[in-house]
Amino acid sequence: MTKLTHLDEAGSARMVDVGGKEATTRTAVAEGFIAMEAETLKLALSGNAKKGDVLAAARIAGIMAAKKTSELIPLCHPLALTKAAVDFTPSEEPAGLQIRAEVRVTGQTGVEMEALTAVSVAALTIYDMLKAADRGMEIGAIRLVVKSGGRSGDYTAPPRAEKD
């Protein structure tokens, strides 16, 4: 098993000292999916939900979440992000929205958590804005898709297995 960097020799949590690491450009892309009824998807895409433009609000929420990740996730470093973008792709079967976030920094630590947090909060915002229409929405499939830069090198997630 790989040594966990957020634990010291005694097993106590600690924030990793990245001060000696070289600042490099680091990028992470994460994705997730929120499943919903077909009528709820139409409402989300219309821009006319009771609470307002669902996708605009979720995009802003995701970007804000990426910027605030160090305040939400213990031991994450505060980072001066150079890019945070959140995009949505509608799906008819299953009905829902694919959420994708890309985050970039030139720094001494990666942005995987920022991308994952952006997707998570964007999904939660969609749920909040549409829950009056569809309380059965389901958030899931959140994962890191790509990361580049840093000492550990690049990573690309394998394609998802197709469901029968």
Active centre residues (catalytic): 128
- DSSP-assigned beta bridge partners for residue 32: 99
Residue 90 CA to chain centroid, in angstroms? 17
Give the strand order in the sheet containing 138-148: 83-92, 95-107, 24-35, 138-148, 155-156
> Cis (ω within 30 of 0) for the bond into 78?
no
Token couple for 77: 């470093």
